[in-house]
Amino acid sequence: QVQLVESGGGLVQAGGSLKLSCTASGRTFSSDAVGWFRQPPGKEREFVATITWSSDRTYYADSVKGRFTIARDNAKNTVYLQMNTLKPEDTAVYYCAARAYGSSYYYYTRDVDYDYWGQGTQVTVSS
Could you report the per-residue pLDDT of 16-64, keeping only the tens digit for each?
A: 999 999 999 888 878 889 999 999 999 999 999 999 887 779 999 999 9
Position 77 pLDDT exceeds 80: yes
For the chain, the maximum distance between any two Cα atoms, rounded to a whole number of angstroms, is 40
| Cβ-contact 38, 82 below 8 angstroms | no
β-sheet bridge partners, residue 46: 38
Q: What pLDDT does residue 84 have?
A: 98
Q: What are phi and psi of 56, to 5 degrees?
A: -85, -10
Estimate to the nearest angstrom the gap between the alpha carbon of 21 and the chain centroid. Answer: 8
pLDDT of 91 reads 98
Radius of gyration for the chain, computed over Cα atoms and rounded to the nearest angstrom: 13
First to last CA, the chain: 40
pLDDT band (50, 70, 90) for residue 74 = confident
